[in-house]
Structure 1
Amino acid sequence: MGNVSPMRHLKDVMNTYPTMSSWARFCIENKGLKDMPDWPSWCFLPSSLWAALVWRQNSSPESSDFDFFEEGGFLSVISAWRYSKGIYRLDASLLSALTETDIAEELPSELFQRMPEWSIYVESPGLPWAGTPINGFWASLDWDYTSNNQYLWFVLNSDRGLLPFCIEVGVKSIEELMRKAMALMYEKIKSSNYNVTEESVRQNFQELRSLISIVLYLCSSEPDVDPMLMPKIAYRESLFREGKKGSYLFTPEKPRVFHVGNTLGAKLRSTESLASGRTVKTHLRRAHWHGFWKGPRSGERKFIYRWIPPLVVEGRPVSEVLEV
């Protein structure tokens, strides 16, 4: 299939579901009314409502509940991206460093609610998934109104096509989320008829951790993006715009590219150069996440968290040691 652009995939989805726009408008206009559920502002449209559209268009005796669930989740990600079309292009050094960063124990899973847009597309050339490099991926936060659970959906843009999957994030911490995801992967080993091994599961888990780390960075308090260009979360409160024929759901004509990590990437490459020099007791302190609560204990508090890049702890040059 090759490297297909996210806009090309969006066009294909819209051709498959020509009523996608009218369905989204109907659901949003009736949000919280009669039989239509209400949902948080960080979710564009719950996947269960998209599953209803899939059922109306493709219902057949061969279809299973899982088919509707997966296709509904897939649509929830792609359709939400249509109303922002943000493409996040990470500096190569930053992308590499993020994939090697461990997930901090203290990070709450609510951080995903700070995603800059309802659905984001991240370019990730060469990032592996199950032995196949992916060109990029979409990520979007979903809400299940029947269970009140939150899910983080991914749709991977690979040469094999689009690969959707989700993980439950309605848990206390991201560390717990990862443990739960690992347990589910091992459960699939027991019930799978494919050649799935514990080693392949561990590798898949590491790849999942890399994806989550990238999304977390874009949700962090100070990502390396021009603050004047970064989308404002407040825009989600106003979905409609006024036109000559009345209100409408605004859809950008072209994608908007956000360059992430240009400044930080240059510093990382400088760090790598320093670390390669011959020094005594010089070491590279690994990148890590740092989070803390800000504000009075008796009032409103905000969780601040940042990604701390690798740091060279410099020792003494070999030449200086030999002169002593």
Structure 2
Amino acid sequence: MTLRPLAHLNQTSRQFGKIWHNVDIFRQAKGTDLPNWPSWCFLPMAAWVAIASEGAEFGSVEMLQAASDASRLAAIGTWRYTQGIYRFDEYLAEALTETRLDGKIPTDLLLRLPEWCVYVETPRQEWCGATLYGFWAHVEHDINDARPELRFLLDTEKGLIPQILHIGPWTIDEAISRWAREAEKEAMQMGLMFSSGRAEFIRTCTLAIQPLLSMVLYLCSEEPELKDRNFPDHGVCLPKAKRTKRGWRLFPPAKPRIWSVGQHTGDILRRGCNKQAVERNFRPHLRRAHWHGYWSGPRDGERKFSFKWLPPVVVGWKVYEEETSTP
């Protein structure tokens, strides 16, 4: 059985015959014929729109369709060059998705995705009432104003649905609001109506995106538990371009890599759910992700107060293990 993200990739390749050749052209023009962009962005959305439109005029039906196709191309096309599929341990996934994300979004952390684009499987999730099989996540660098955006492409039973967060020093609902205002402005420029900036829409999207954002943040944490069972000694790494007659090019892997995420942490949480742990009140748990404020610099010199994002961690296991291992 073909993996879902691979099936979508094959369909995209059939639909857009010249897409990978055009990706090479845009990547080779980075910093020369085109403005430069950060290394954490594979290819800006403006390039994907140009690839999808193939020279269509602004405001035309073809351009409107290209703008719609670009979100799908950006996620699936970027994922093609790494093809990482991330399978979270179900106990860790449950604990992460139940963790509320309050306060400002840790933008710098989100720029540390293990790959340019990841596909996360979500067999027990829904999106606004529809089954959510998984999602792609990647970070976009807006060429016009250098704005970073965390872009999701949701793989649902009702089709592929894009969801965008304008990430910065603000909350999730503000990130959704900023995207909605920008989408409304762009729709008006194209003569379309977009009325999703209402409070109910913001609230619904904020609640729905939090579990997915928690999983992405875990992948971006300092030492996420990632393991490829087929190649346990090989970690995640980005591909390197190769010199060809057509210039420097990136080549996709032969097949996707399946990454087990958080297996050790999940085992701890699973074992902590047994009856003895609960009765003795030593059940380990996941400390919620939170901000930590700290001072840095010499005590007798200029000091700086900073906030650091601390991902969820398992606590209480050492005490529990000592108690339950006693004969």
Q: Which of 151, 159, 162 in structure 1 is aligned with 2:149?
A: 151
How far the C-alpha of 1:14 sits from its partner, in A, is 1.1
The question of 1:306 aligning with 2:278 is answered: no
CA contact (8 A) 2:52 2:69 kept: yes
Shift of 1:310: 6.4
Task: Please list the CA deviations of residues 51-93 of structure 1 after superposition, one character each: whole Å capped at 9, or x if unmatched.
Answer: 011221666833565x544422321111110000000011011
Cα separation, 1, equivalents of 2:22 and 2:122: 31
2:51 maps to 1:53 = yes
In 2, Cα distance between equivalents of 1:266 and 1:314: 16
How far apart are 1:29 and its partner, in Å? 1.1
State the Cα distance separating 1:244 from its structure 2 match: 8.9
| 1:211 has 2:204 as partner | no
Q: Please report how far the alpha carbon of residue 270 of structure 1 lies from its aligned counterpart in structure 2 after TM superposition.
A: 1.9
Deviation at 1:106, TM superposition (A): 6.2
Q: 1:250 deviation in Å?
A: 1.5
Query: What does residue 321 of structure 1 align with?
Result: none
How far does residue 231 in structure 1 lie from its aligned partner after superposition? 1.2
Secondary structure of 2:122's aligned partner: strand
Task: Give unmatched runs, 5+ long, in structure 2.
Answer: 184-192, 321-327
Q: SS where residue 7 of structure 1 aligns? A: helix
C-alpha distance in 2 between matches for 1:61 and 1:245: 33
Gaps of 5+ in 1: 316-324
Residues 288, 311 of structure 2: 8 Å contact kept: no
Task: Provide the secondary structure at the position in 1 that maps to 2:212.
Answer: helix
Q: Which residue identity is paired with 1:225?
A: L
Contact 1:88 1:257 in 2 (8 A): yes
Distance 2:103 2:215 in 1: 16
Secondary structure at the aligned position of 1:26 is classed as helix
Aligned to 1:248: 249
Q: Which amino acid aligns with 1:10?
A: L
CA distance in 1, matches of 2:225, 2:90: 13
Deviation of the 1:280 alpha carbon: 7.4
State the 1:288 CA deviation.
2.7
Quick check: 2:165–2:175 contact (8 Å CA) kept in 1? yes
Verify: 1:30 aligned to 2:29, yes or no.
yes
Q: 2:234 aligns with which of 229, 233, 251?
A: 229
TM-score of the pair, normalised by structure 2 = 0.77
Distance 1:264 1:74, change over 3 A: same
Rounded Cα–Cα distance in structure 2 between residues aligned with 1:102 and 1:58: 43
Report the 3-state secondary structure (helix = DSSP H, G, I; strand = E; otherwise coil) of the residue aligned with 2:72.
Answer: helix
**What is the percentage of aligned positions where both structures have the same residue?**
28
2:106 paired residue number: 108
Shift of 1:30: 1.2
What is the rounded CA distance, in whole Å, between the counterparts of 1:249 and 1:186 in structure 2?
A: 34
Inter-CA distance 148–186: structure 2 relative to 1 (3 Å threshold):
closer
TM-score (norm 1): 0.78
In 2: Cα distance, 1:109 partner to 1:185 partner: 15
Give the counterpart letter for 2:222 in structure 1. Answer: S
After superposition, residues 132-211 of structure 1 pair within 5 angstroms as 132-169=130-167, 171-172=168-169, 176-181=170-175, 183=177, 198=200, 202-211=203-212
Alpha-carbon distance in structure 2 between the residues aligned to 1:263 and 1:221: 16
> CA distance change for structure 1 residues 293 and 73 in 2, over 3 Å: closer, same or farther?
farther
RMSD: 3.9
Are 1:99 and 2:97 an aligned pair? Answer: yes
Number of equivalences:
300
Instruction: Give the 3-state SS of the residue equivalent to 1:75 in structure 2.
Output: helix
Output one character per residue of 1:197-239: Cα deviation in whole Å (capped at 9) or x when no partner.
93x754432220111110000000011124843313xx46x4x
Q: C-alpha separation between the residues in 2 aligned to 1:223 and 1:205? A: 25
1 CA distance for matches of 2:285 and 2:276? 7
Confirm or deny that 1:119 pairs with 2:120.
no
5 Å-filtered alignment, 1:78-93, equals 78-93=76-91
1:254 counterpart SS class: coil
